[in-house]
Amino acid sequence: MLPHSPTLLDLTQRTFLATGLVLVTGLSQIASAAPITEFSQNQQNSLQQRLIADRGDKKERDGVRVVRLDLNRAKNMARQAAEEANGGIRVYRAEDSMHGPAANCPYVDNGDSWTFTFRGGRPGSALNTIESVVTVYKSTSRVVVAYNGSVRTVQQTQFLSFTSDQRTVLVDLLRGNCGCNYLLTDSLRSQIIGQARSLPPGIQKQLLRGKGLPPGQAKKLLYLPKQVNTYLKVPAQYDFVVLGSNLLLLDQTRFTVIDLITNVL
């Protein structure tokens, strides 16, 4: 008996199966070579958690940087402010204490800020010709250059507080009831009266002896002429200023409130 001869139907079925096998194998190879563009549910959840963690860490780091402003960082900020004010590090270098441990640099802790009083000059020179007084606030990183100029050689006399007579004269002067009214020009007196009620109550409560000025208030100060210092025998390194309805005595070297009279006007 002759072996079974393939019919047309058998050939067609074999051809179809062979072709299907080739297509399946090819697609499998293509699929294995293609990049994965879709994450599984677990991968998506993991990625989302990492992104949330990163955003949280960044906010936390930003918060820590502001809240934990320490003395060393404040010292560097004060030195950098002086460097910028004097033309940069190529022409100016602060004294060595501003480059070493923060505890050894000349500073005063005002409670809400630190004030650094230091000298500097040309790099490589042993002669310091420039004096800088820089206050750095602890909670806001605000920097105030209260003085930057020639080294002051005049012996400074420390002033602690107003006497009762000085208080009386100052109140009468601002109210226009003093025989020394000539110490204030009409223009300055008008400015003082115009801004007498401009200070928000919240800022009013922050004016304290031995403290720096609240942030943002330095530009609002109205300075009285130095003739007032002479008249009341107050050393020239102190400034009489009016802020709102208050009269303050500021120490130029530390930019802190030495004494004040509230609600004068």
- pLDDT tens-digit map of 136-172: 888 877 888 888 998 876 555 677 788 999 999 999 9
**Domain check: are 144 and 179 in the same one?**
no
- pLDDT tens-digit map of 61-86: 444 344 457 899 999 999 999 999 99
Q: By three-state DSSP, how is residue 125 classified?
A: coil
In a domain, 206, yes or no: yes
Identify residue 166 by its one-letter amino acid code.
Q
- Position of tokens 């007032």? 228
In a domain, 101, yes or no: yes
**Domain check: are 178 and 114 in the same one?**
no
In a domain, 65, yes or no: no
What are the backbone angles phi and psi of residue 260, rounded to the nearest 5°? -155, 155
% of the chain with per-residue pLDDT over 70: 71
Residue-range definition of the domain harbouring residue 191:
164-261
pLDDT category, 41, cuts 50, 70, 90? very low
pLDDT at 157: 64
Give the start-end residues of each E strand in the chain. Answer: 93-94, 107-109, 113-121, 130-137, 143-150, 222-223, 238-243, 246-251, 256-261
**Domain check: are 181 and 255 in the same one?**
yes
In a domain, 119, yes or no: yes
- pLDDT tens-digit map of 180-220: 989 999 999 888 888 877 777 777 777 777 777 777 777 77
Q: Which pair of tokens denotes residue 129?
A: 């010709």
In a domain, 7, yes or no: no
**Domain check: are 133 and 188 in the same one?**
no
**Domain check: are 247 and 189 in the same one?**
yes
**Domain check: are 245 and 179 in the same one?**
yes
Which of these, 243, 259, 250, 258, lies nearest to 174 by C-alpha position?
Answer: 243
Q: The pTM is what?
A: 0.48
In a domain, 61, yes or no: no
| pLDDT tops 70 at residue 111 | yes
In a domain, 30, yes or no: no
Rounded Cα distance between 31 and 183, Å, is 91
| 46/121: higher pLDDT | 121
Work out the average pLDDT over 99-111. Answer: 85
Where a domain ends, among 104, 127, 150?
150
- Position of tokens 């919240």? 202
Residues with Cβ within 8 Å of residue 137, at least 6 apart in sequence: 112, 113, 143, 144, 212, 215
3-state helix, strand, coil in the chain (%, to 5): 40, 20, 40
CATH code, domain carrying 224? 3.10.450
Name the domain count of the chain.
2
- pLDDT tens-digit map of 175-190: 988 889 899 999 998 8
In a domain, 199, yes or no: yes
What are the backbone angles phi and psi of residue 200, rounded to the nearest 5°? -60, 145
**Domain check: are 202 and 244 in the same one?**
yes
